[in-house]
Chain A
Amino acid sequence: MAESINIELVTPSEMLFTDTADMVVVPGSEGVFGVLPRHAATLANLQRGKINVYHNGSITRRFFIDGGVADVLPERVIILAERAVDLDSVSIEQLEERAVNATESEVSFITAVKKAI
């Protein structure tokens, strides 16, 4: 497939991920939905869950977010998330380190990330 869509995953502290892909699946608060190129312009609230980035029909990158918002236009999608973790590069040890001294909501997020890995 020639067409692709630009993806930006942004957290308050950094631009976590930007790339083009064939499709990205995001956890909308009213149901998980996939975004393909030429998707209708949508502004959707997101809940805690996985973001899957697809190239050539298979998942190439996986992220886990703690809710956020997706700003979808036909040629690009911007995902704003207060907390996000790259599931492919994070390790259980790193997560456990983060869980020390963390707030309650952070701990529950980290527990959810561990399950998703």
Chain B
Amino acid sequence: MANLKDLKTRINSVKSTQKITSAMKMVAAAKLRRAQEVAEAGRPYSSRMQQVISGLAANANKSNSPELLVGREDVKTHLLIIVSADKGLCGGFNGSIARQTRQEINRLENEGKSVLVYMVGKKASDNLGREISNKTFERIENLQGSNVDYNKVRGVAEKILLGFADNQFDQVSIIYNQFVNAITQNVVVAPLIPANVVGEQDNESLVVYDYEPEQNELLELLLPRNITTQIFSALLESSAAELAARMTAMDNATRNAGDMIDSLTLVYNRTRQANITKELIEIISGAEAL
């Protein structure tokens, strides 16, 4: 049986782990509230932008529409943007992104396309870096977190647009964790190029719009902005989802540490009692022998 001193040390070490995880949980919970507000405040812009583009696209003349909308006929290379966290200790958050990325890469390669990867966040390169080092287009860190900067995202989008114009890739999609609520995050794969156009809208697409300037010119202006917007909103969602995942993971860890402390304490008490009983028996049998 384990001796008392060893047990005491283990209990103390689990107790200090529990203190750390419960502190992390509280920090994540406090930050989550803010991140959730920011993510929700960002939703109107991206959804309305999507609406405007879809309306435009529905009426557009397909033959001479910009490539950003209709895509290229011959797709050789596909760029995947994967959004992970900069830090770990957030449960399955980064793992599910990595899993989805592997799946997507397999699927695209089976279709005969080659794949490039744009890694956002430190953990993506940690998890996948070695296996896809020959596919890396670029990696970037410190982009998400408490303050996602629209101007920085614009830089990312510009780089992607340049690469597209330069024929480095012909299709782009983004993989990120969408924030649903504090305990649920969904891994989402969303297309960026060609643009994701929602089907016919109920009443609004029936309206005949005046366009100023011409429709195609307007599309050329709006589609690049839309890419920035979609990446920006993906980052906001992902930041909120990361904090939610961390909060849940740390809550579980705290609870598990509590269970462990209970069972260790039980063993500790039993052992101590057994020792006392043993000593008593020794004394009594010693006295009886006299």
Contacts and interface: CB of A to CB of B under 8 A. Distances in A.
Given A13-B41, A14-B41, A43-B212, 5 more contacts: A41-B207, A42-B212, A43-B211, A44-B212, A73-B207
A82 B212 CA distance: 19
Interface string B239-272: 0000000000000000000000000000000000
B45, B209, B210, B222 — most chain A CB neighbours (10 Å): B45
B44 A10 contact: yes
A71 B55 CA distance: 10
A103 interface: yes
A78 B44 CA distance: 11
B212 A103 contact: no
With a 10 A CB-CB cut-off, give which of B52, B204, B217 has the most chain A CB atoms: B52
B218 A42 contact: no
Interface in B81-124: none
A71 B52 contact: yes
Given A41-B207, A45-B221, A13 B213 contact: no
A82 B209 CA distance: 23
A10 B209 contact: no
B150 interface: yes
A99 interface: no
Contacts of A29: 212-213
Interface of A: 8, 10-15, 28-30, 40-45, 69, 71, 73, 78, 80, 82, 102-103, 106
Contacts of A14: 41-42
Interface string B139-181: 0000000000011000000000000000000000000000000
Of B207, B208, B233, the most chain A CB neighbours within 10 A belong to B207
A69 B222 contact: yes
Contacts of A102: 151
Contact of A10 (B45, B207, B217, B225): B45
Contacts of B221: 45, 69
A23 to B, nearest CB: 18
B216 interface: no
Contacts of A80: 45, 48-49, 52
A42 B187 CA distance: 36
A20 B199 CA distance: 30
B210 A82 contact: no
22 contacts: A10-B44, A10-B45, A12-B232, A12-B233, A13-B42, A13-B150, A15-B44, A28-B212, A29-B212, A41-B209, A42-B210, A43-B52, A45-B213, A45-B217, A69-B221, A69-B222, A71-B51, A71-B52, A78-B48, A80-B45, A82-B225, A106-B151
Contacts of A8: 44, 48
Contacts of A41: 207-210
B114 to A, nearest CB: 32
Nearest to B52: A71
B185 interface: no
A12 B44 CA distance: 8
Contacts of A69: 52, 218, 221-222
A82 B229 CA distance: 9
A40 B185 CA distance: 42
B58 interface: no
Interface string B34-69: 000010011011101101100110000000000000
Interface in B182-228: 204, 207-213, 217-218, 221-222, 225, 228
